[in-house]
Amino acid sequence: MTHATLIPPHQKMKSGYAAPKKPSKKEFKDTRIALLATRWNVEVVEALLAGAAACLKDWGVPDENIEVLYAPGAYELPLAASAILASGRFDGVVALGAVIRGDTPHFDFVAGECARGLMDVQLAICRPVGFGVLTVNTPEQAFERCAPGKTNKGYECAAAVLEMLRLTRHVIGAPTAEGA
């Protein structure tokens, strides 16, 4: 029996998320995070940045350990993330942007290469790079995903980066940027 057979056909269901344990008060006090944003779809990206910043605050990352940096667009995010992590100044990158489908195949190339590139960066450097790049069909879908609160995709992306930092530190003792 698959999960699909358990959901009545008349109900739309997003998969549930089992939140990780809450951080201790000082768990992320020395963590340095880069919020890397694109310059396209500014209103959406600014809302994603606000969500990511709220998460970092909720998880105890001090404001002085957060830096906001910008790349021209989603296609450029992988190189920017690679340079940021190669600098040794950051423990992780929260990559944020919005690619909205248009009338040409441009969306497919930009969204796919951005996702692949960000994955390649985190695997090569063994530091988390969060994929907070919305890939949506309409502006309305983008705005639904960046509303204030814990379901803001910027918030979720930052939480994923911190959770992966927790995991890598536990498994391989990955150092903090300050200890690198």
pLDDT single digits (tens) 98-107: 999 999 999 9
Q: Which tokens go with 1?
A: 């029996």
Let me know: does 136 contact 143? Beta carbons within 8 Å. no
Of the pLDDT bands very low, low, confident and very high (cuts 50, 70, 90), residue 22 is: confident
Residue 177 falls inside a structural domain: no
Residue 92 falls inside a structural domain: yes
Q: Which tokens go with 50?
A: 């606000």
Residue 20 falls inside a structural domain: no
Residue 5 falls inside a structural domain: no
When divided into structural domains, the chain yields a total of 1
Rg (the chain; Cα; Å) = 17
Residue 56 falls inside a structural domain: yes
State the Cα angle at 143 between 137 and 144, rounded to 5°.
Answer: 90
Q: Is the pLDDT of residue 133 over 90?
A: yes
CA distances from 132 to 50, 88, 127, 173 (A): 12, 22, 16, 25
Of the pLDDT bands very low, low, confident and very high (cuts 50, 70, 90), residue 1 is: very low
Per the document, the length of the chain is 180
Summarised one tens digit per residue, pLDDT across range 160-179 is 999 999 999 999 986 777 66
CA 99, distance to chain mean position in Å, is 14
- Which domain covers residue 156, as residue numbers? 25-172
Summarised one tens digit per residue, pLDDT across range 55-98 is 999 999 999 999 999 999 999 999 999 999 999 999 999 999 99
Summarised one tens digit per residue, pLDDT across range 29-59 is 999 999 999 999 999 999 999 999 999 999 9
Q: Helix 106-125 and helix 77-86: axis angle, to 10°? A: 20
Whole-structure pTM over 0.85, yes or no?
A: yes
Residue 4 falls inside a structural domain: no
Of the pLDDT bands very low, low, confident and very high (cuts 50, 70, 90), residue 18 is: confident
109: number of CA atoms within 13 Å, CB side? 6
Q: What is the CATH number of the domain that holds 56?
A: 3.40.50.960
Residue 7 falls inside a structural domain: no
Task: List residues with catalytic annotation.
Answer: 106
Residue 179 falls inside a structural domain: no
Helices (H) and strands (E) in the chain, counts: 6, 4
